[in-house]
Amino acid sequence: MKKLILIAIAITLSYAVNAQIKTPAPSPFSKIEQKVGLTDVTLEYSRPSMRGRTIFGGLVPFGKIWRTGANANTKITFSEDVMVGDKTLKAGSYAIFTIPQVDKWEVVFYTETGGGAPKELDMEKVAAKVTAEVYPLGMDIQSFTMSFDDVTSNSAVIGILWEQSYVGVKFNVPTDNTVMASIDKALGGPGFGDYYAAASYYYGEGKDINKAKEWIDKAMSMTETPRFWQLRQQSLIYAKAGDKEGAIKAAKASLAAAEEAGNADYVKMNKESIAEWMQ
């Protein structure tokens, strides 16, 4: 008997030693990272494939909680507090569960990230729940896909694509509050970089353009040799503020600096802007 046991152990060990063949996972893991404004967002999920199957209403039943992918729960992590719908999600990680229907989905951000999708939601663990419209794609997306779409300084959309369906969930990040607080703190006695950054932010976000003009002038007064891209930004701020004469002057300075640096893109942009503003 002892000999038989030893033989069995030897056979088992032999299989374990020889089982070295690696095969791809049927639903491979994916991890995507995105900076949205000043917030770091990480999405981790697994990607099952259609393989000739009907997905929604078939493999994924309508009206039931789905883990939104395969294997472990899909997980999203935010480095700062964000807004989903009218709910604030505190910085941290959340499971994303969905309840698909034909023309709309319920998308749930759940505080418990481990385990599988629950049969019923514990509402105390639901940090946010929103309804999202289903958009038909007119083509098959063979592998389940998630993405960050329509990324701006203040928001992005979590895209969910599979079969012929696209569902998007928007979230907002506190970029403007953070930047405004840093501007208020920094502009008591900053250098060139702070004034330039503040002016560029105000210009890009459509804020007080006259304040942006004041700050870009302050920045330029702090450097003897502004670079061509900095002069280009000054010209754009002036133009938006309605000062075409100042815009043309700054653009000509940027053009000369860009020609000296051999930057054809800025040469082209400045020539086009000068022609436009001189009309």
CA 74, CA 43: separation in Å to the nearest integer? Answer: 7
Q: Cα(221)–Cα(235) distance, rounded to whole angstroms?
A: 15
Amino acid at 182: S
**Residues 145 and 47 grouped into a single domain:** yes
Same domain membership, residue 100 and residue 163: yes
Give the domain range for residue 190: 175-277
pLDDT in tens, 160-177: 999 999 999 999 999 888
User: Is 9 inside any structural domain?
Assistant: no
In a domain, 16, yes or no: no
Residues 43 and 157 in one domain: yes
Statement to judge: residues 52 and 155 lie in one domain: yes
The three-state DSSP-derived secondary structure of the chain is: CHHHHHHHHHHHHHHHHHCCCCCCCCCCEEEEEEEECCEEEEEEEECCECCCCCCECCCECCCCCECCCCCCCCEEEECCCEEECCEEECCEEEEEEEEECCCEEEEEEECCCCCCCCCCCCHHHEEEEEEEEEEEEEEEEEEEEEEEECCCCCEEEEEEEEEEEEEEEEEECCHHHHHHHHHHHHCCCCCHHHHHHHHHHHHHCCCCHHHHHHHHHHHHCCCCCCCHHHHHHHHHHHHHCCCHHHHHHHHHHHHHHHHHHCCHHHHHHHHHHHHHHCC
- 103/166 Cα distance (integer angstroms): 10
CA distance 44 to 214: 44
pLDDT at residue 2, rounded to an integer: 52
Which CATH number does the domain housing residue 183 bear?
1.25.40.10
Q: How many residues does the chain have?
A: 279
Q: Are residues 67 and 161 in the same domain?
A: yes
What is the per-residue pLDDT across 107-163, written as a single tens digit (0 to 9) for each? 999 999 998 889 899 999 999 999 999 999 999 999 999 999 999 999 999 999 999
Q: Identify whether residues 246 and 135 lie together within a single domain.
A: no
What's the total number of domains in the chain?
Answer: 2
CB 158 within 8 A of CB 76: yes
Q: What is the dihedral of CA 226, 176, 43, 30, to 10 degrees?
A: -20
**26-79: per-residue pLDDT in tens?**
899 999 999 999 999 999 999 999 999 999 999 999 999 999 999 999 999 999
Domain boundary among 122, 140, 172: 172
Q: Does residue 70 belong to any structural domain of this protein? A: yes
What's the number of CA atoms in the CB half-sphere (13 Å) around residue 233? 21
48, 84: one domain: yes
Same domain, 165 and 261: no
State which of 122, 146, 172 marks the end of a domain: 172
Provide the b/e sequence for 238-249 (b: ≥16 CB within 10 Å).
bbbbebbebbbb
Answer yes or no: do 76 and 130 share one domain. yes
Residue 13: pLDDT band with limits 50, 70, 90: very low
Its pTM stands at: 0.76
Is 68 in the same domain as 180?
Answer: no
Structure tokens given for 245: 């004469």
pLDDT value, residue 16: 47
**160 and 61 in a common domain:** yes
Position 238 pLDDT exceeds 60? yes
Structure tokens at 247: 């815009």
